[in-house]
Chains A and B, each alone.
Chain A
């Protein structure tokens, strides 16, 4: 206090600012991200020499691997076992920085700088001849299977420009779109979701929708009747002709090299009939927007008595209807009470998506009723 009393206001403000900046700096150094990254190299000219170096020689092993495009990728995976094929021991450098020079004689200087900062240095010199690529290893006992020697052929199969462009974009493959799509495909076996029409006449063309359909060869099974050799250009759609079966409701599934969509717990069905009935259609709702306590009337076509309502706030079964209208209470839906109680949507308009399901099928497009919470 004595210290502050000796200073004028301006000095106090500056002192506070100084303390703030010092505190920010300390926090920055505590929480700063130490993850190695590769500096972008937008243009690679084969006359450039490149030196990769690291500030983090203490990191665990990284590896040189081949990605889907058959390009070598250097990744930093700390959990990668050091005795694995293509692993480079912990004493080697993790790629941290890329320095480049068009002057060949500068390569040695760059290499020298790199040596000062880490134990191992990777150098790519300006030539397509990959025999001069050197990955110098520090004091690590050499094994019978030298991982570096195993890694070098990867470079030999590709021009240096390919190597550099890949290294420049080297991020954890799991975080890329390709990685995500690969996981998505693995997580989804083949699945059949629905048909373009629920009721179809024998011999008419229809579409089946799902995921992981094979591009060339799928088999659609309807009531035990197999429709083979169906192609799917997008992997999501199959076009087929309804089989000549007697009128009735049949379970359907798809088989291909990815597996089968057959699921006894969730049977996807289709009606084969000589006189297909149109799907239910919802055209309007009253009141709209509605309150969570409101009773809502949906108007449309083929809204048969005993229809089931499926909404994003819950489902209702056997709802009374007269063919052109159907009535229900929003508060009867499971999630409505929870959301009113929690107050999380208070003041918000929630888009309630509604499907009506009955013997004629399900409305093709969902109907949206705005609910004011």
Chain B
């Protein structure tokens, strides 16, 4: 008898709990296109000496569920930093938003500046601490 009551009560609570997840959904904070999300592990960076920003190379880089590799640009002031404020530091995971297709990294080569291609410019970014997995 006790088993049966526990069994039924558990079933009801489980069902109600699962339904409550749909009744009280969490809010989302999606970025407005053309801004989109990214996440990745920074490998190294190049200071873009003409445009005063950083070209950061990520492996892996998640622009969707499929991991790729590639660079994004971090621009001080224009890119909003979030904790732990370690943008561009090798071995640190990054998560944020970026605007695709903005070629904003220019490197000085002695007589002129040349563009260093990238996927886009970060609009906001937060980081892990070094060594985080």
- A: which residues have CB within 8 A of B? 6-8, 10-11, 14-15, 17-18, 21-22, 24-25, 28, 32-33, 35, 37, 171, 174-177, 180, 183-184, 186-188, 191, 193-195, 198, 211, 249, 266-269, 308, 310, 312, 335, 338-339, 342, 344-345, 348, 350, 353, 355, 357, 361-362, 366
In contact, B14 and A17 (Cβ under 8 angstroms): yes
Q: Which residues of A contact B109 (CB under 8 A)?
A: 308, 310, 355, 357, 362
Known: A15-B6, A22-B17, A177-B35. A366 touches B113 (CB 8 A): no
In contact, A11 and B10 (Cβ under 8 angstroms): yes
Known: A7-B3, A14-B11, A25-B20. A362 touches B78 (CB 8 A): no
Q: Which residues of B contact A174 (CB under 8 A)?
A: 80
Q: Which residues of A contact B32 (CB under 8 A)?
A: 171, 176-177
Separation in Å of the A27 CB from the closest CB of chain B?
A: 12
Nearest chain-B residue to A17 (Cβ)?
B14
**Among A33, A180, A183, which residue has its beta carbon within 8 angstroms of that of B27?**
A33
Separation in Å of the A276 CB from the closest CB of chain B?
A: 14
**Top 6 nearest A-B pairs by Cβ distance?**
A21-B17, A193-B113, A14-B10, A184-B78, A194-B112, A187-B77
Nearest chain-B residue to A249 (Cβ)?
B111
In contact, A14 and B124 (Cβ under 8 angstroms): no
- The total of interchain contacts (Cβ-Cβ below 8 angstroms) comes to 142
Q: Which residues of A contact B46 (CB under 8 A)?
A: 312
Q: Which residues of B (73-118) have their CB < 8 Å from a CB of A?
A: 75-78, 80, 90-91, 99, 106-117
In contact, A187 and B114 (Cβ under 8 angstroms): no
Query: Main SS of the interface on chain A?
Result: mixed
**Among B78, B91, B116, B117, which residue has its beta carbon within 8 angstroms of that of A187?**
B78
25 contacts between A and B (CB under 8 A): A11-B6, A14-B7, A14-B11, A14-B14, A15-B10, A18-B10, A18-B17, A21-B18, A22-B17, A28-B26, A35-B27, A176-B32, A180-B99, A184-B78, A187-B75, A191-B50, A193-B106, A193-B115, A249-B111, A266-B108, A268-B113, A308-B109, A308-B110, A344-B91, A361-B112
In contact, A342 and B90 (Cβ under 8 angstroms): yes
Separation in Å of the A194 CB from the closest CB of chain B?
A: 4
In contact, B112 and A21 (Cβ under 8 angstroms): no
Distance A368 CA – B36 CA, assembled complex (angstroms): 27
Query: Main SS of the interface on chain B?
Result: mixed
In contact, B3 and A8 (Cβ under 8 angstroms): yes
In contact, B112 and A339 (Cβ under 8 angstroms): no
Known: A6-B3, A193-B106. A21 touches B35 (CB 8 A): no
Q: Which residues of A contact B55 (CB under 8 A)?
A: 312
Q: Which residues of A contact B49 (CB under 8 A)?
A: 266
Separation in Å of the A286 CB from the closest CB of chain B?
A: 23
B66 adjacent to chain A (CB < 8 Å)? no
Q: Which residues of A contact B75 (CB under 8 A)?
A: 184, 187
Separation in Å of the B45 CB from the closest CB of chain A?
A: 10
Q: Which residues of B contact A357 (CB under 8 A)?
A: 109-111
Q: Which residues of B contact A211 (CB under 8 A)?
A: 51
Distance A177 CA – B80 CA, assembled complex (angstroms): 12
Q: Which residues of B contact A355 (CB under 8 A)?
A: 109, 114
In contact, A335 and B44 (Cβ under 8 angstroms): yes
Distance A211 CA – B75 CA, assembled complex (angstroms): 14
Distance A305 CA – B10 CA, assembled complex (angstroms): 81
